[in-house]
Amino acid sequence: MKSSRYLLLWCFLNNCLLSPAFANDDTGQGLKEFQAGHFIQAIQSWQRAEMFYAQQGQSLEQSRAVVYQAEAYQRLGYYSEATEQLCTALELTKPLHNQADEIRVRVLTNLGHIYTVLGSPDMAHSPLAICQVEAASYLERGVGTVAKITSLDEIKRFELQTLLFINLGNLFALPVTPYQIQLYTAQNYYQKAVGTAVQAKSDILASLAAKLEGEVARALTFPDAKKAQDYLAEILPGLLEFQPNLRNKVYALFTNCQSTCPLANTLAKVYLDKSFQVLTESKWFEGNKTQSLELKGTLFVNQGDWFASQNQLPEALEKYQNAIESAEQAKNFVLVSKALNNKVSILSKDKNVSDGQTILKDSLTKWEHSLEQLSDYPYDQMYGLLSLGKLINEEERRQKIFERAYQLGEKIKDYRGKSVAKGYLSEIYQNKSNKEKKDVDEMLRLNRQAIFFAQEVGEPELVFQWNLQQGRLLRDLFEESKSQGDLDNAILAYRHAVETLEILRQDQKICTKHQETASKFQQEIKPTYLEFVDLLLKRADSNNQGQTQEKCDLLPPRTLFLSNEEKENKEKKCGSLRKRAPSNEMTKSSCDLRNAQLAMERIKDAELRNYFQDDCVTDSSYCEVPLDQTELPNTAVVYLVLLEDRAVVLLHLPDGKIKQVRLKEASEGYKNSLRTETVEDLLNEFNKYSPPSPPPLDDRYLTRAQELYRLLIRPIEEDKDFTNSQIDTLLFVLDEPLRRVPLAALCYEDCTHKENKEGHFLIEKYALAVIPGLTLTDPKPLLNTPDIKLLLGGLSEGKQTVSPLKGAENYSALPCVEKELDKVEELYSQPEKRTNTLLNKVFLIPTLHQELDSSPYSIVHLSTHAHFDDDYNKTFILAFDGKLTMDGLEDIIKNRPDAEEHPIELLTLSACETALGNDQAALGLAGLAIKAGVRSTLGTLWKVEEKSTAMLISKFYETLKSQSESGKTTATFSKAKALQEAQLCLLHKECVSKKQPSSTKSSLGKDDPKQKECLLDKPEKEEEKDSFEHPYFWAPFLIIGNWL
């Protein structure tokens, strides 16, 4: 996959390794093309050289040509291809002994650098990416490492060893390497896996290993090796998918148990150390001093990069300085420039280095001098100048450097370099404090040239960057001139930027987990969309009086990038949402507001992809029907838009009309009201309570709840169209920090009066739900038919888990779980039983998986500990046999045989908790329905007292069932309204549990003398003392996703 951003980083300047003398013309031609930046042509030349040397039987030169290809592949970003070539070269050098030490050093150094840059789990343990023998040795070493970890209990050690043995088997069994498949070796590892799985008491791992071993044994009976290879290629990947997160568990082993960075970084360090060992011990280098210095310098640079990736900056600086000294002795200025580039990058960011600014200044001067020596390497010289110029403070000097870089780009016809140079030159004019008209004109001229060159070479990342630059330039002009023309042009530039973002997403899309940093979303993507929305809302305000209808140019839907087959599938899913004929005719103001709404939808989509580290997590949920065609009876959608200088609500009304409601009281100081003080004070009131003692309903809480109501809800209710729409349901699309706020508990203005303290909460006016966005929600009603089945699961017993990082973790008993599940089961047992229950020892992850595979359940209700964290990898649902992660839940639900025909309508987590002070954790809860592949989720913002939870859940299902059986329409019946009734039941003291037998035996389990007593079994007189009207008990419950 091509990734142009790595070119600017100069990650792979290894051409200093290339020999100046060649016996084959293609090898020399490849070097010239490489130096000019024509990497594809260089690969083609070296491929011809490789074939020539192979025919001549010259293995040493053949391996050299293969390494050259690998270095060119790295420059293009094709890391898998580069690694495969390096593995081939390593194989070619095996018979050559000491005479191939130079090639071995080169191979190992390159492998070390690849793993340093990528550092991803997929690259780290994929047989495609690692030389087979090398990988096996490290996995074997892992088996021994696990055996020595005394902090792990015996069961966990055997489980981890099992996972390693399975991956060792995969390494030799899966036909994806360039080497002969060693099936007997694979069979042996799978047999070992069976043994350790039995010792780990893991039936699912034992079953998996046995199946893998059986399939390899069958393949060994095939007379033809090709047939055996094809058979395993077809059968093994399916078996490996059976165990959720098998690959991630092996990755976790190396991150958690070895206390290191990911396996890729571990391998990188091993490769680099081994390379240095060969370099220092080989006698070949004694007679080749210059090449020895060059190789040593390159190795020092790569070691420095590794230390930098581990944030060990002093060590990295030392290695870069070593590289500079070696390269200067070898008079290799390409290498000097690379080492100085990396050294300066650290010095410019780290202010803690002793005498750092002095060293930085000297290094910049030295770097500029070394770049002057690179006339034979114009490609490297150009990108070196571009990197250097960004770090120079003097405006005139920086401008000259960028102009020189542009001239080099002209010389070698590198449009990308020319685009970057023009963009940086435009930035110089943009940053001038007192700009004259000629400065503005020149700034825009240079920017447009930068966009043109980026478009010519097909670089969407640069097209985005320069369109965003232009949008901000024109926005600043508008703020000064208030010219409608400047505003229109700024909006157009921003639009091009946000449309290019979608092209970039599709171009770089990887439907696997990736470590996309949150900083990119927070610093680039989200601000771009919000700035675009800001300008659209300003223009909508200025056009508010015009009523002329004209064609509206809406943002293109994401389906524009789908294949025809994918479009047809989306049409089947989304077509039912179209209630009226499409119309692009609307006023200018309405058009801007609609595009602002679409941009907010894009933000929410990107937010979830960023949180779950998965480019494809929203694809199955996405359904972009024109929003004015979505029928929402008596329902309004509230988008909260927090801009730099004001807070705004985009209000989507039942008829599809979109309005802008400015939150006037929040506009001036909203950051201290909506974002911080009021919200935090309100949440602190909840944080200090600990069940089961009923907390007081004091004025401090009510004052905060009243203030948020006045800021957020009252301006909406004062809107005339809202009032006339007879709204009874509010859907919220929220931003931080209001995701953490229990909206049901916002109260009317008079709720602080003592006589009114038992009511006047938002939930008494409206049914409420949180949605990730209209385009990410599938609003279909839950119909009560005989086909509806419920899968119930939970833990009533206390549970201890052990993890390598946290050690032992204890989870308390939930004694009311049995009663809660019993009541739900009773509700859905007439006229025939439609539930299946997994309780305690039966509530196992494999059993849950098998149940969902075997029967089309509509509702899954899990009453067990569940925790949402700002890191989704730490989010889990507790089962009897361990923690079910979000990836595991997604695997189980989305991969069901009937997932498309019979989606799960509702996933209930009645004992989950989200850290009250953690907005990202709340985002995880909000995105659970999409991640898990269910239409809606019922969850809680914090873990609530058991008795009130059981009462509320029972009332919710009772209402849901009775409403659907009564044949009510979606205008009067929905999951959101069923939850509203259950919440009001507690608030108004109408939920009183009936007296239960004093025995701890329930219809779901046997007598357990150790089982903690459920509060629902208290005598009736004591029950009457319970009071659950405080918001603490009912406000944290949320319907997320499809509210119908």
C-alpha 142/C-alpha 892 separation (Å) is 29
Q: What is the arithmetic mean of pLDDT over 485-496? A: 95
Q: What is the CA radius of gyration of the chain?
A: 32
Specify the residue for token string 């090709």: 226
- Two tokens at 1028? 């659950």
Confidence at residue 441, expressed as pLDDT on a 0 to 100 scale: 92
Query: Which pLDDT score is estimated for 767?
Result: 96
For residue 723, which of 815, 818, 778, 659 has the smallest C-alpha distance? 659
Cβ-Cβ contacts under 8 Å for 442 (sequence gap 6 or more): 429
How many other CB atoms are there within 10 angstroms of residue 857's CB atom?
A: 24
Task: Look at residue 252 and tell me whether its pLDDT is greater than 50.
Answer: no
SS3 state at 673 = helix
User: b/e map of 446-472 (b: 16 or more CB within 10 Å)?
Assistant: bbebbbebbbeeebbbbbbbbbbbbbb
Residue 61 has pLDDT above 80, yes or no: yes
220 vs 19: which has the higher pLDDT = 220
Which range of 323-332, 349-358, 490-499, 742-751 scores highest in mean pLDDT? It is 490-499
The SS3 of residue 837 is: strand
> Which pLDDT belongs to residue 729?
96
Confidence class for position 599, pLDDT limits 50, 70, 90: very high
CA distance 391 to 360: 10
Task: Quote the DSSP letter at residue 543.
Answer: T
Full-model pTM: 0.76
Nearest to 249 by CA among 323, 304, 167, 168: 167
767-770 and 790-794 as β-strands: parallel, antiparallel, unpaired?
A: unpaired
pLDDT of 732 reads 96
Across 41-69, average pLDDT: 90
Is the four-CA dihedral 986, 987, 990, 992 of positive or negative sign?
Answer: positive
334-374 pLDDT, tens digit per residue, is: 888 888 888 888 888 776 666 767 888 888 888 888 898 88
Q: Can you give the pLDDT at residue 548?
A: 81
pLDDT at residue number 407: 96
pLDDT at 663 exceeding the cut of 80: yes
Number of alpha carbons in the 13 Å side-chain half-sphere of residue 871: 4
Question: How many Å separate Cα 777 from the centre of its chain?
Answer: 19
136-159 pLDDT, tens digit each: 555 565 566 566 555 556 776 777
Question: Range with the lowest mean pLDDT among 6-10, 137-141, 228-232, 748-752?
Answer: 6-10
Residues 409, 418: contact at Cβ < 8 Å?
yes
Q: How high is the mean pLDDT of the chain? A: 77
pLDDT for 816-863, tens place per residue? Answer: 899 999 999 998 887 677 899 999 999 998 899 889 989 899 999 999
Under 8 Å CB-to-CB from 103, ≥6 apart: which residues?
Answer: 60, 63, 64, 67, 89, 93, 96
Tell me the percentage of the chain whose pLDDT exceeds 70. Answer: 71
Which of the pair, 152 or 451, is modelled with greater confidence? Answer: 451
Contact between 344 and 363 (Cβ < 8 Å): yes
Q: Is the pLDDT of residue 471 over 90?
A: yes
Q: Given this model, what pLDDT does residue 1031 score?
A: 86
Give residues with Cβ within 8 angstroms of 789, minimum separation 6.
834, 835, 836, 855, 856, 857, 858, 859
Task: Report which of residues 960 and 203 the model is more confident about.
Answer: 960
Each residue's pLDDT tens digit, 600-619: 999 999 888 888 877 778 87
Given the DSSP bridges, would you call strands 550-551 and 585-586 parallel, antiparallel or unpaired?
A: antiparallel
Measured distance between the N- and C-terminal CA atoms of the chain, rounded to whole angstroms? 42
Least confident piece of the model among 302-311, 466-475, 593-602, 854-863: 302-311
- Domains, the chain, with CATH or none: 5-119+264-380 (1.25.40.10), 131-260 (no CATH), 381-547+559-581 (1.25.40.10), 605-776 (no CATH)
pLDDT at 167 over 80: no
User: What pLDDT does 39 receive?
Assistant: 84
- Beta partners for residue 873, in sequence order: none
Asked if 988 and 1029 count as a contact pair (C-beta separation under 8 A), the reply is: yes
Confidence band of 248 (pLDDT split at 50, 70, 90): very low
CA distance 489 to 492: 5
> Helix, strand or coil for residue 68?
helix
Q: pLDDT band at 85, cuts 50/70/90? A: confident
**C-alpha span between 98 and 412 (Å, rounded):** 40
DSSP lists the bridge partners of residue 793 as 838, 862
Output the pLDDT for position 497: 95
Q: How far, in whole angstroms, is CA 309 from its chain's centroid?
A: 20
Is 70 exceeded by the pLDDT of residue 526?
yes
Q: Which of 1021, 1019, 1016 is nearest to 692 (CA)?
A: 1016
Q: Where are the beta strands (DSSP E) in 177-237?
A: none
Higher pLDDT, 763 or 333: 763
The span from the CA of 31 to the CA of 69, in Å, is 10
The most distant pair of C-alpha atoms in the chain lies apart, rounded to whole Å, by: 99
**What's the rounded mean pLDDT across residues 168-193?**
62
| Strand residues in 549-694 grouped as ranges (E) | 550-551, 585-586, 635-642, 647-652, 658-662
* Strands laid side by side in the 835-839 sheet: 658-662, 647-652, 635-642, 729-733, 767-770, 1037-1041, 936-940, 906-909, 859-863, 790-794, 835-839
Q: How confident is the model at residue 954 (pLDDT cuts 50, 70, 90)?
A: very high
Q: How far apart are CA 445 and CA 270, in angstroms?
A: 50
Q: What is the SS3 assignment for 452? A: helix
Contact 761, 745 (CB under 8 A): yes
Q: Which among 208-212, 419-423, 647-651 has the top mean pLDDT?
A: 419-423
Lowest-confidence range among 452-466, 561-575, 1004-1018, 1022-1036? 1004-1018
Nearest Cα to Cα of residue 980 among 1039, 905, 937, 929 = 1039
Question: Token pair of 660, please?
Answer: 């802008």
Q: Helices (H), strands (E): how many in the chain?
A: 43, 19
pLDDT score of 692 more than 70: no
pLDDT at 1009 over 60: no
Contact status, residue 446 vs residue 429, Cβ threshold 8 Å = yes
**pLDDT tens figures, 975-996:** 999 999 999 999 888 876 544 4
Task: Tell me what pLDDT residue 923 has.
Answer: 81
Closest C-alpha to 345, from 77, 10, 112, 75: 10
CA 14 to chain CA centroid, nearest Å: 32
Mean pLDDT of 381-392: 91
Residue 300's Cα: distance from chain center in Å? 33
CA distance 105 to 266: 18
Q: What is the mean pLDDT of residues 852-880?
A: 88
The closest alpha carbon to 306, from 337, 270, 336, belongs to 270
Above 90 in pLDDT, residue 593?
yes
* Cα 66 to Cα 47: distance, rounded to the nearest angstrom: 8
For residue 402, pLDDT beyond 90: yes
Residue with tokens 């290809």: 69
Question: Strand pairing partners for 940?
Answer: 1037
What is the H or E stretch that residue 381 is in? helix 378-389
What b/e sequence results for 784-813 when a residue is b if at least 16 CB atoms lie within 10 Å of its CB, and e otherwise? beeebbbbbbbbbbebebeebeeeeeebeb
CA 1000 – CA 391 distance, rounded (Å): 72
Torsion angles phi and psi, residue 638, rounded to 5: -110, 110
- Residues 459, 462: Cα–Cα separation, whole Å: 6
Indicate whether 749 pLDDT > 80.
no
Instruction: Indicate the range of 374-383, 508-517, 613-622 predicted with least confidence.
Output: 508-517
Which has the closest alpha carbon to 960: 782, 765, 728? 782
Region 941-966: what's the mean pLDDT?
A: 85
Q: Is 856 helix (H, G, I), strand (E, B) or coil?
A: coil
Tokens standing for 750?
A: 């008079």
pLDDT band, residue 681 (cuts 50/70/90): low
